[in-house]
Amino acid sequence: MKNQKIKRPPADGLDLVKACAHVALDAKAEDLVILDVQGISSFTDYFVIMSGRSTRHVQGLAETLEGQFRSKRIKASRAEGLQEGMWVLLDFDDVVIHIFYYEQREFYNLEGLWHDARRIELDSI
C-alpha cells in the first residue's frame, strides 16, 4: 500500500493573521497594524502592515514569516520586493502582508488609503 501525505486544509484568513502577528512581533516588527478589508477589497480579506528598522530587518521579517508559514505548508502565492528590502509584499490570498522600511511606509500611507477598513486590535488576537 502506498503512503499518501495527508493534506492539511488551508487555514482561514483570521488564523493566518493571528499567526503572522505573533511571528512578526517575536521578530521585533514595529508599528504592526491589521486591517480587515473584507467587503471593501475584492482581492484579499486582511492586510497586515508592519515596519522594519533597516532594509535588512525588513528582509529578515519577510524571510521569517515565509519560513514559518512554509513549515505549516502554507505558501505565498506571490512575494515581491525582497531583494530591495524597502517594501516587501507577501500575498497569502486571504492575507496580504506589507513589510515596509519606515520611510517607505510614511510615503505610501496604506493605512490612509484604506481608512474605511476596520482595524483589528492586537489585544483581541
Number of domains in the chain: 1
pLDDT tens, 89-121?
Answer: 999 989 999 999 988 999 999 999 999 999 999
In a domain, 1, yes or no: no
pLDDT over threshold 80, residue 125: no
Question: Residue 68's domain is classified under what CATH number?
Answer: 3.30.460.10
Instruction: Say whether pTM exceeds 0.85.
Output: yes
Q: How far is CA 91 from CA 2, 3, 4, 51, 77, in A?
A: 34, 32, 28, 17, 6
**What is the extent of the structural domain holding 50?**
13-119
In a domain, 42, yes or no: yes
pLDDT tens, 50-81?
Answer: 999 999 999 999 999 999 888 888 888 788 99
In a domain, 51, yes or no: yes
